[in-house]
């Protein structure tokens, strides 16, 4: 297997490799290198995940142990712990809101897409860097700015936004309705505006890079599924985030400039407000026009990552490569026409509800296809359970469990009862939250050797996986029962209601499981930072994978490949090809070198390769003259 050698031997004199003089600031802070920016997103995302997770631990304490005295949290939360040692109900709502906002946007959008789109797109398509390194840097720093503002809002006196992560007006528009709708909500909106800017700058870059900077031979039909997923994710983001921007802008107008886009007929705190003619439903339409595609912005990259990891570690081609792409395309398009299923009982015209019910359940079909394809990829494989592989299998499990409950919720007649109950909480935490989180984890374990040149400890990875996998199910599976029993979301306590005055034991169980799962993440953190400095040096291609990133040096330099960028000759999933000596054939190996394993229809590629090579010689000769 002397392919890599071949490629670098063929390196021309016009070497694009030029070493920059870098200082600490240009290398680690204002870096324009996609790999460093990816790592910046990863570390910031991890920090946010810890904060978001910690917030959920606090409110799970309240839900599982309503009698508990929380004075010990006073140094951190101050007045939000009431005199009798209980959590302030308004701060409870703020916690829920910030947990949602942080997890959806800062962890699973920026932390996942930001990390892996940045890190992997140039490496896997064979590019020196992103189309615009500068824009890429801006993307991170707008995200950073947004993070700082959002974080600040946690510590102000009136508390952060508290109207749920969807921040529906009028609640989010009226500071007199809830304290969090004062300065906290303003900061939320400002932070989200910067977040959207960051997201768009990133997205435009990903799209431009995938379209324009693919190396020779890397046609769209040879792209790894990771890249397809990142590409389509960026397209979804580019089309939907501006709509959130519009929604936020109108909300800013209503809050600060006396307009009535969302406000009408309001009498609050003994005063009738002058606003007339606005519609809170308008906000919901605009919000969910982003909100639903956002689910796929979070999920698709995770699905792309697992497609790659499952194929590699099953030592089998991903089953139905084309079907996987078509279903992702289907999901991309359909994700824009299902938003109103979040609004079946919002007062929406029931006819519109019918339309959205049909559209919603159509989107279940490509999702089902993906699951069956994953299962068939495992079938008759030669499966190696790396931590990344385990997390990918975990993702498939969550995707099934959470996806199936979507069929209940997408059915408007059934949704009447289940809407805004814990059934919904269970559903989206499994299908979107945990599944995407597992995708993120799988990605970190899999590409850690490429990021830091070191191996993570596998045993700790196994421990981390099993604790988290079992923990996540212990947290979210019981919520289905609580939801079927009708327990509403965003409730500080259920004891006011007779119908919801049970299952205290189950809620306690969920809370304990949530805390254990949170603690288990420190196993990962230890492994991550320990391995970064003290881990075993990684081999060049530790998972014996086909994709291009493993042809770079152990720690890729600025520009990724020291010599010429390798040419791609085949798709990325030639694992265990009959006749081949090894159980993998990297994308850089020409068909002409593998006569023993070429399939009948692949013989023509050998001829094409010859013609291409001849052309190259001609071109090179012309250059000389």
Partner 1 sequence: MLGFIIGIGVLLLISILLMIFRIQSLVSVVKGSDKKRATGSNKWNAALGMIFLLGTGFLFFWYSFKEFDNYQLPVASEHGVVTDGLFWTTMAVTGIVFVITHILLFWFGYKYQYKENGKALYYPDNNKLELIWTVVPAVVLALLIFTGWRAWVDITEKAPEGSEEVEIMGYQFAWAVRYPGEDKKIGDYDFRLIDGSNQFGMDLTDESSLDDFVAPNVMVLPKGKPVLFKIRSRDVLHSVFAPHFRLKMDAVPGMPTRFWFTPTKTTAEMREETGNPDFTYEIACTEVCGRSHFAMRYRVEVVEPAEYEAWLAKQSSWLSQNPEYMEKVPDDLKGVAQVIVDQEKIIQK
Site for partner 1 in 93-122 (CB under 8 A): 93
Residue pair 153/184 in contact (Cβ under 8 Å)? The answer is yes
Q: Does 484 bind partner 1 (CB under 8 A)?
A: yes
Q: How far is the CB of 542 from partner 1 (least distance, A)?
A: 10
Binding test (CB under 8 A) with partner 1, winner from 242, 462, 512, 606: 462
Pick the stretch among 44-52, 293-301, 374-382, 437-445 that binds partner 1 (CB under 8 A).
374-382
Residue by residue, what is the 3-state secondary structure of 460-489?
HHHHHHHHHHHHHHHHHHHHHHHHHCCCEC
Pairing of strands 267-268, 271-272: antiparallel
For residue 566, the 8-state DSSP code is P
Shortest distance (Å) from residue 81 CB to partner 1:
16
Q: Does the protein bind partner 1 through residue 573 (CB under 8 A)?
A: yes
Instruction: Write each residue from 257 to 276 as x if it is in contact with partner 1 (CB under 8 A), else as -, in one continuous string.
Output: ------xxxxxx-x-x---x
- Contact, 66 vs 493, CB < 8 A? yes
Is residue 227 within 8 A of residue 124, CB to CB? The reply is yes
Site for partner 1 in 387-416 (CB under 8 A): 390, 393, 396-397, 400-401, 404-405, 407-408, 411-414, 416
Question: Segment contacting partner 1 (CB under 8 A): 192-200, 247-255, 439-447, 500-508?
Answer: 500-508
Residues in 275-314 at the binding interface with partner 1, rule: CB under 8 A: 276-281, 314
Q: SS3 letters for 66-134?
A: CCCCCHHHHHHHHHHECCCCCECHHHHHHHHHHHHHHHHHHHHHHHHHHHHHHHHHHHHHCCCCCCCHH
Residues 168-187 that bind partner 1 (CB under 8 A): 168, 170-171, 174, 177-178
Specify burial of residue 255 (Cβ count, 10 A radius: 0-12, 13-18, 19+).
buried
Q: How far is the CB of 485 from partner 1 (least distance, A)?
A: 4
CB 288 within 8 A of CB 210: no
Q: How many CB atoms lie within 10 A of CB 614?
A: 10
Q: What are the Cα distances from residue 9, in Å, to 389, 527, 566, 624?
A: 35, 38, 11, 19
Helix 504-534, helix 435-452: angle, nearest 10: 10
- Least distance (Å) from partner 1 to the CB of residue 276? 8
- Region from 130-138, 145-153, 224-232, 353-361 binding partner 1, contact rule CB under 8 A: 353-361
**Binding to partner 1, residues 320-349 (CB under 8 A):** 320-323, 345-347
Instruction: Measure CA of the first residue to CA of the last residue in the chain; give whole Å.
Output: 35
| Nearest residue (CB) to partner 1, 242 versus 486 | 486
Contact region with partner 1 (CB under 8 A), list: 150-158, 219-227, 356-364, 612-620: 356-364
Phi, psi of 87 (to 5 degrees): -75, 140
Residue 299 C-beta: closest distance to partner 1, Å? 18
24 vs 267, which CB is nearer to partner 1?
267
**The residue to which tokens 């939360």 are assigned:** 77
> Cα(561)–Cα(559) distance, rounded to whole angstroms?
6
**Of the candidate residues 211, 384, 617, 620, the single one contacting partner 1 (CB under 8 A):** 384
Closest to partner 1 by CB, 85 vs 317, is: 317
Angle formed at CA 553 by CA 593 and CA 228, multiple of 5 degrees: 70
Interface pattern 503-542 for partner 1 (x via CB under 8 A): x--------------------------------x------
32 binds partner 1 (CB under 8 A): no
Of the candidate spans 46-54, 144-152, 492-500, 613-621, the one that interacts with partner 1 by CB under 8 A turns out to be 492-500
Q: How far is the CB of 470 from partner 1 (least distance, A)?
A: 7
Which residue among 9, 43, 76, 375 contacts partner 1 (CB under 8 A)?
375
Q: Is 41 in the site for partner 1 (CB under 8 A)?
A: no
Chain positions 216 to 255 lying near partner 1, rule: CB under 8 A, are: none
Binding residue for partner 1, selected from 33, 129, 254, 457, defined by CB under 8 A: 457
Give least dist CB 245 to partner 1, A.
22
- Report how far residue 237's alpha carbon sits from residue 253's, in angstroms, rounded to the nearest whole number: 24
Which H or E run includes 229? helix 225-256
Most distant CA atoms of the chain, gap in Å:
90
221: buried, middle or exposed (CB in 10 Å: 19+, 13-18, 0-12)? exposed
């Amino acid at each position: 297997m002397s392919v890599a050698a071949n490629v670098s031997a063929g390196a021309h004199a016009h070497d694009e490799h030029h070493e920059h003089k870098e200082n600490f600031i240009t290398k680690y802070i204002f870096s324009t290198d996609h790999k460093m920016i990816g790592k910046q997103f990863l570390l910031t995302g991890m920090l946010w995940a810890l904060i978001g997770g910690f917030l959920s631990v606090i409110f799970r304490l309240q839900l599982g142990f309503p009698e508990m005295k929380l004075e010990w949290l006073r140094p951190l939360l101050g007045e939000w712990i009431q005199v009798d040692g209980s959590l302030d109900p308004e701060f409870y709502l703020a916690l829920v809101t910030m947990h949602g906002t942080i997890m959806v946007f800062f962890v699973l959008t920026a932390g996942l897409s930001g990390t892996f789109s940045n890190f992997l797109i140039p490496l896997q398509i064979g590019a020196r860097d992103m189309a615009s390194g500068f824009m890429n840097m801006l993307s991170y720093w707008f995200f950073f700015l947004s993070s700082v503002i959002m974080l600040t809002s946690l510590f102000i006196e009136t508390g952060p936004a508290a109207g749920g992560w969807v921040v529906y007006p009028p609640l989010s528009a009226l500071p007199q309705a809830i304290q969090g709708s004062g300065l906290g909500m303003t900061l939320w909106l400002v932070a989200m505006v910067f977040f959207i800017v960051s997201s768009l700058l990133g997205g435009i870059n990903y799209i431009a890079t995938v379209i324009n900077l693919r190396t020779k031979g890397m046609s769209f039909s040879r792209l790894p599924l990771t890249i397809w997923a990142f590409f389509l994710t960026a397209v979804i983001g580019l089309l939907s985030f501006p709509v959130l921007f519009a929604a936020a802008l109108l909300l800013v107008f209503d809050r600060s400039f006396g307009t009535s886009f969302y406000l009408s007929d309001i009498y609050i705190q003994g005063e009738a407000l002058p606003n007339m003619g606005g519609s809170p439903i308008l906000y919901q339409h605009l919000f969910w026009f982003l909100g639903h595609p956002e689910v796929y912005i979070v999920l698709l990259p995770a699905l792309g990552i697992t497609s790659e990891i499952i194929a590699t570690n099953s030592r089998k081609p991903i089953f139905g490569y084309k079907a996987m792409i078509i279903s992702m395309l289907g999901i991309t398009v359909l994700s824009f026409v299902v938003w109103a299923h979040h609004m079946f009982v919002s007062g929406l015209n029931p006819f519109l509800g019918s339309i959205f019910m049909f559209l919603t359940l159509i989107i279940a079909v490509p999702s089902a296809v993906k699951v069956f394809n994953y299962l068939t990829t495992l079938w008759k494989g030669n499966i190696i359970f790396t931590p990344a592989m385990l997390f990918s299998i975990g993702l498939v499990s969550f995707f099934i469990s959470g996806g199936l409950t979507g069929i209940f919720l997408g059915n408007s007649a059934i949704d009447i009862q289940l809407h805004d109950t814990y059934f919904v909480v269970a559903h989206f935490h499994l299908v979107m939250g945990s599944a995407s989180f597992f995708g993120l984890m799988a990605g970190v374990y899999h590409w850690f050797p490429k990021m830091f040149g070191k191996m993570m400890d596998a045993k700790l990875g196994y421990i981390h996986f099993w604790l988290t996998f079992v923990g996540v199910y212990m947290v979210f599976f019981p919520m289905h029962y609580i939801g079927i029993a009708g327990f509403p979301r965003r409730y500080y306590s259920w004891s006011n209601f007779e119908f919801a005055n049970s299952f205290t034991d189950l809620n306690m169980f969920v809370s304990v499981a949530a805390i254990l799962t949170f603690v288990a993440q420190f196993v990962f953190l230890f492994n991550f930072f320990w391995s970064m400095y003290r881990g075993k040096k990684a081999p060049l291609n530790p998972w014996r994978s086909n994709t291009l990133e493993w042809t770079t040096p152990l720690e890729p330099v600025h520009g990724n490949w020291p010599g010429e960028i390798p040419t791609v000759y085949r798709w990325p999933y030639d694992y265990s090809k009959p006749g081949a000596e090894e159980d993998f054939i990297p994308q850089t190996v020409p068909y002409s070198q593998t006569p023993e394993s070429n399939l009948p229809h692949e013989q023509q590629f050998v001829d094409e390769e010859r013609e291409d090579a001849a052309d190259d010689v001609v071109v090179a000769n012309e250059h000389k003259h």
